[in-house]
Structure 1
């Protein structure tokens, strides 16, 4: 793990020093004081506390309010947390243990049981269709939609709602007559089953025998899927060949596989192409055996071949690959890492 930033270090130092004064306050005031501390050092994050005024130890929840661009910072803050006498530090707002609840907004009240949800597929994510099982006064239509979003965050949890859910559409009447509608308070177990049984996200790493498919892409559009296997040399300049690891779908969007690490290498003649492909495959082995990451897809285009791996800890992944990347065939290497918790790069191709 990389060392925490000076801002993170300063925040935890101030928080640790303030523990005694925080404990002397009621929980609501304690939360306000804690948020004043984090705002002094870090933007885009907030703190929540779960417990009662007289609890000796409460959960300290670091939240980014569902903004995925702030999730890496959130994880760094949690990883750097010191041992605290009165707090258990948690990442992300978790699912509520009582999903059947009402909330009110400006004189209007809505219960989760009055919000109906149907699940569909949206690329690699789950799409939600929502309608209300009661009359909503016209003046409160926007309030009702905002309340439904707040409810979803509490019912599914911050991470799952932000990462695993794609489109959210509000309907006046059911669209698909085959859709299965349930109350929002019933969603968590149904969502989890859909994630595993319909989308195939078992979270289990595949074995050594993995299912690959190949498609060709023209610069102006997408070709038909051609078969199974890895790409080779001799690709025309106006064509890209993409090999997709279908088996990687099982671990897609796991919370510990959120970074897309790309190894981009030049390849010339057929011998050089074979050497680059071998290096990419060896990198996959080094990452997959200890389950540090998985090769998701490769793309050959304009004399270069890039392989994309989803990893959890970018520093551990780089360390695992370091000896391999010192080889002569890695001389042209361009290495990049991007935060992609929804695996959007993978599903750009795998969803087709």
Structure 2
């Protein structure tokens, strides 16, 4: 008697359809850029930026293009979500699917500033500004990420506090880079100045942030080729049993494994559970074979098994899982 396949709640087919639609929009955008590359190259930087952003808008790609001088080519197109994490996928996929252009190179996300010691953010409404020594930072590990506390080392007028806090967040975004500030930072709090507190000037924080991320939290970005290291615990309030793979910890938050493949399956019998184990093993084997992804967590609650992997190329992984589940 042939076994019935397990009931997968979120099917790769549905996810694939959404991904195909995004890819089509991106493909159309890049074709238009490529067709007009010669004429774009003859414009000044502001007009290039205006034209490319118009093409993004026409193709319903809700991100922003900024133009700078290129490292290896004449211009660089930098795509940013302006801190909106729900649009990070657009930035990643637009950059990943970029064609080879003659005059333009492509970069995803605003990067960290190089001139930390001299970088200053100025208020548009007043003479108030924030520089590297005007922000004092405390940090701690929190939920496998880093939480930040900020103190102002200069006097902030009462009517400027909200604006100063906004400026400080923008400063951190430039200091850590758009991706790391959104993904690696758990929370940011503004603290009252405390002369006895141990703090770090903003211009020294990047080095400490990197060291804490890689050495203390062990998020090295190196794919762990060793065997999985599972720990088990129960969330009693949720009546949920959780298996977490510590071998996947090294890839948490890494830009090359920034997607989560989530497979949710109803388990109503031992036979179904056996089929789910087979499905899980097949996905694991396929993803690990060429380091496309790593199994990071399973949970079980009220007859539903939820399996989670960190993966890189969403399009190819969805196709792979679709083949396996078929």
Is structure 2 residue 166 aligned with structure 1 residue 166? no
Provide the C-alpha distance between the structure 1 equivalents of 2:272 and 2:38, rounded to a whole number of angstroms: 64
Matched with 2:160 is: 140
Q: TM-score, normalised by structure 1?
A: 0.77
Residues 152 and 193 in structure 2, CA contact (< 8 A), matched pair in contact too: no
Is structure 2 residue 172 aligned with structure 1 residue 192? no
Matched with 1:151 is: 171
Matched with 2:34 is: 16
Cα 1:175–1:197 shift into 2, 3 Å? farther
Shift of 1:21: 4.0
State the SS of the aligned residue for 1:256: helix
Is structure 2 residue 134 aligned with structure 1 residue 117? no
Residues 263 and 307 in structure 2, CA contact (< 8 A), matched pair in contact too: yes
- Report the more deviating stretch, 117-126 or 160-169: 117-126
Cα 1:23–1:204 shift into 2, 3 Å? closer
* Structure 2 unpaired stretches of 5+: 1-18
Provide the C-alpha distance between the structure 2 equivalents of 1:146 and 1:310, rounded to a whole number of angstroms: 32
Shift of 1:261: 1.6
Matched with 2:149 is: 129
* Structure 1 unpaired stretches of 5+: 223-238, 327-352
Q: Which has the higher contact order (CA 8 A, sep 6+)?
A: 2
Matched with 1:76 is: 93
Cα 1:3–1:264 shift into 2, 3 Å? closer
Q: TM-score, normalised by structure 2?
A: 0.83
Q: Residues 167-222 of structure 1: CA distance to partner in whole angstroms, max 9, x if unpaired?
A: 11111124994x4x21212222211101011111011222342221112234xx16
Matched with 2:65 is: 47
Matched with 2:15 is: none
State the SS of the aligned residue for 1:206: coil
Matched with 1:213 is: 231
Shift of 1:118: 1.6
Cα 1:111–1:296 shift into 2, 3 Å? same
Residues 8 and 42 in structure 1, CA contact (< 8 A), matched pair in contact too: no
Residues 287 and 294 in structure 2, CA contact (< 8 A), matched pair in contact too: yes
Q: Which structure 2 residues correspond to residues 219-230 of structure 1 after superposition, within 5 A? A: 221=237
Provide the C-alpha distance between the structure 2 equivalents of 1:7 and 1:298, rounded to a whole number of angstroms: 34
Q: Which structure 2 residues correspond to residues 1-352 of structure 1 after superposition, within 5 A? A: 2=20, 5-51=23-69, 57-100=74-117, 101-105=119-123, 106=125, 107-174=127-194, 177=197, 179=198, 181-218=199-236, 221=237, 239-270=239-270, 272-322=272-322, 324-326=324-326
Residues 201 and 250 in structure 1, CA contact (< 8 A), matched pair in contact too: yes
Shift of 1:83: 2.5
